[in-house]
C-alpha cells in the first residue's frame, strides 16, 4: 500500500462543435467568428467537395475537406461572387452548428 494518498484528475472536455478544438472556451463566440467571414465555393473542387482528378486516392477534396466551401478574409470576395449553392450550403452548416453549439455542455473538470 502506498504511503502517500493517491491523486486522480479526470478531464472530460469535449471538442467545440464549431472549431473542433478542445481548448475552445466559448463555442458560441467561436461560431460567431467563423460565420462573420465570407464563405464561397472551394476553388480547388469548384464547390463539389469531391477530390476529382487532383488526387486519385482521395474521395473528398483535401483543401475544403469535402464541404465545398472556403473561408475568405473580409473584403477579399464580394457577395455577388458567392454562388447560390455556396450560400445554401453555408446556411445548412450554420444551422447544424448552431443547434450543436446550443446543446454543447460546459467544460467539466473533476479532481479527486
φ and ψ of 84, to 5 deg: -65, -35
Residue 61 lies in a domain: yes
Residue 84 DSSP SS3: helix
Q: How many domains does the chain have?
A: 1
Which of the two residues, 6 and 39, has the higher pLDDT score? 39
Phi, psi for residue 57 in degrees, rounded to 5:
-95, -10
Instruction: Decide if 6 is inside a domain.
Output: no
In this prediction, residue 13 carries a pLDDT of 61
Q: Taking the complete model, does pTM exceed 0.75, yes or no?
A: no
The tens digit of pLDDT for each residue in 11-41 reads 556 788 888 887 888 888 888 888 889 999 9
Supply the range of the domain harboring residue 31. 19-106
Q: Is residue 95 part of a domain?
A: yes
Query: Could you tell me if 51 and 45 are in contact, meaning their C-beta atoms sit under 8 angstroms apart?
Result: yes
Supply the pLDDT for residue 92.
92
Q: Which of 72, 63, 68 is nearest to 85 (CA)?
A: 68
The tens digit of pLDDT for each residue in 42-55 reads 988 888 988 887 67
Pair 61, 68: CB distance under 8 Å:
yes
- 109 pLDDT higher than 80: no
Distance CA 17, CA 35 (A): 13
Which residue is it, cell 472536455? 13
Amino acid at each position: 500500500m502506498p504511503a502517500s494518498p493517491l491523486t486522480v484528475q479526470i478531464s472530460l472536455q469535449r471538442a467545440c462543435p464549431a472549431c473542433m478544438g478542445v481548448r475552445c472556451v466559448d463555442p458560441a463566440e467561436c461560431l460567431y467568428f467563423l460565420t462573420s467571414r465570407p464563405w464561397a465555393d472551394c476553388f480547388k473542387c469548384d464547390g463539389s467537395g469531391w477530390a476529382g482528378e487532383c488526387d486519385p486516392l482521395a474521395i473528398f477534396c483535401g483543401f475544403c475537406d469535402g464541404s465545398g466551401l472556403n473561408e475568405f478574409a473580409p473584403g477579399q470576395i464580394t457577395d455577388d461572387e458567392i454562388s447560390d449553392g455556396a450560400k445554401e450550403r453555408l446556411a445548412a452548416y450554420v444551422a447544424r452548428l448552431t443547434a450543436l453549439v446550443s446543446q454543447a455542455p460546459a467544460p467539466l473538470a473533476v479532481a479527486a
